[in-house]
Amino acid sequence: MNYTPIKVSAPGSIMITGEHAVVYGQPSIVCAIDQRVTVEALPLTERRVEIVSDIAPPVTLPLDVISGDGPYRFILSAVELFAGRLKHGVRLTVSSKIDPSLGLGSSAAVTIASLGALATMLGDRLGLLLHTRALAIIRRHQKRGSGADLAASVFGGMIAYKLPTELLNKVPAAETSAKITPLPTPPILSLCYSGNKTPTSAVLAKVARSMVGREEEFAALYERMGRVVRDSIAFARVRNWPAFGDTLSEYQGMMEELDVSDPTLERMIDNALACPKTLGAKISGSGLGDCVLAVGAVPSNFFQAPVTSKGLHVYA
């Protein structure tokens, strides 16, 4: 057996625009940030999986009896996917430079990095096939999910992302045909954490409850959101960043219509827009907490979020 470890990393991500509407088939923009999760996979003689990380105590499980719950649920689900093909055990050593309290696609990054390490070990293709596998895992644990953050972790950079209609409400079984288009990156992106975070699944569930009996009203809102994102994509392509920033602020108004904003987030946005160089500001993420994104400046209490062009990376 070759005991040479395989080491891969995947970046975290921030949602630029398209939150909520992307789950209903509208386009979105997401970008990879220069904070990464690294997974090193080492074959073991014994048929077991060991996970060692700085996010939770280590675990050891028989390779053929894997529970996908707990803090390692995304990693364990990745191992479970490949367990039948592994002829040996595996130790996964996980390290993260992503602050999990800020969101920033940490679940997506660890899922992609874990799948990438195991797929490389078995000689599988990466790219869209990896995205498909990761989307199935995310939906298994979170019920809904567009896969936009997963795409950023696979491909890097800033991308326009749209999931085909036929994959909106089911677990993908084959390679996804998600539409992924690279975009130029704005000169400055910055973030400010609100101090609390409501889990995305809880926010999506709240919105779904609000939709009951108002389906046509919400469908019209998602269509308007989609039109604004298409404008954002068009402006990004020609690097018209002032107009791009305006579309982000316009989208924020629709997030407020969706009732996923709150006074704290709106004060943070007002603070960002008070900075003369800020081109636009909005919630980044599902809302009811999380972060505010600003484009064109680093307002007071914000920190710059450098974008990385490097997606999933396998180290030689």
Q: What was the pLDDT predicted at 87?
A: 87
Cβ(97)–Cβ(113) under 8 Å?
no
Dihedral of CA 228/162/291/10: which sign?
Answer: negative
The share of the chain scoring above pLDDT 70, in percent, equals 94
63 φ, ψ (degrees, to nearest 5): -65, -25
Phi-psi region of 19 (alpha: psi -120 to 50; beta: other; left: phi over 0): beta
Task: Report helix, strand or coil for 190.
Answer: strand
* Annotated domain spans of the chain: 6-183+309-314, 189-304
Which of 229, 103, 227 lies closest to 159 in space, CA to CA?
Answer: 229
Q: What was the pLDDT predicted at 136?
A: 87
Task: Report helix, strand or coil for 277.
Answer: coil
Which helix (H) or strand (E) segment holds residue 226: the answer is: helix 215-237
Q: Which residue has the higher pLDDT, 185 or 2?
A: 185
Q: What was the pLDDT predicted at 7?
A: 96
Going by pLDDT thresholds of 50, 70 and 90, the confidence category of residue 166 is low
Going by pLDDT thresholds of 50, 70 and 90, the confidence category of residue 155 is very high
CA distance 34 to 184: 16
CA distance 264 to 298: 18
**So what CATH class is 6-183+309-314?**
alpha beta
**H helices, E strands: number in the chain:** 8, 12
Residue 170 has pLDDT above 60, yes or no: no
Token pair listed for 81: 């996917």
Q: What is the mean pLDDT of residues 107-113?
A: 95
Q: What was the pLDDT predicted at 146?
A: 86
Whether CATH 1.20.1560.10 fits 189-304: no
Q: What is the mean pLDDT of residues 189-205?
A: 87
CA distance 199 to 101: 11
Q: What was the pLDDT predicted at 121?
A: 92
Order across the sheet with 291-295: list the strands: 280-284, 291-295, 189-193, 303-304
Helices 148-155 and 127-142 pack at an angle, to 10 degrees, of: 150
How many angstroms separate the Cα of 153 from the Cα of each of 97, 144, 215, 227? 14, 18, 32, 25
Residue 99 has pLDDT above 80, yes or no: no
Q: What was the pLDDT predicted at 168?
A: 59
Phi-psi region of 290 (alpha: psi -120 to 50; beta: other; left: phi over 0): left
Q: What was the pLDDT predicted at 54?
A: 84
Residues 180-196: pLDDT tens digits?
999 999 989 999 999 88
Going by pLDDT thresholds of 50, 70 and 90, the confidence category of residue 178 is confident
Predicted model pTM: 0.92
Arithmetic mean of pLDDT over the chain: 90
Q: What is the mean pLDDT of residues 15-33?
A: 95
Cβ(302)–Cβ(192) under 8 Å?
yes
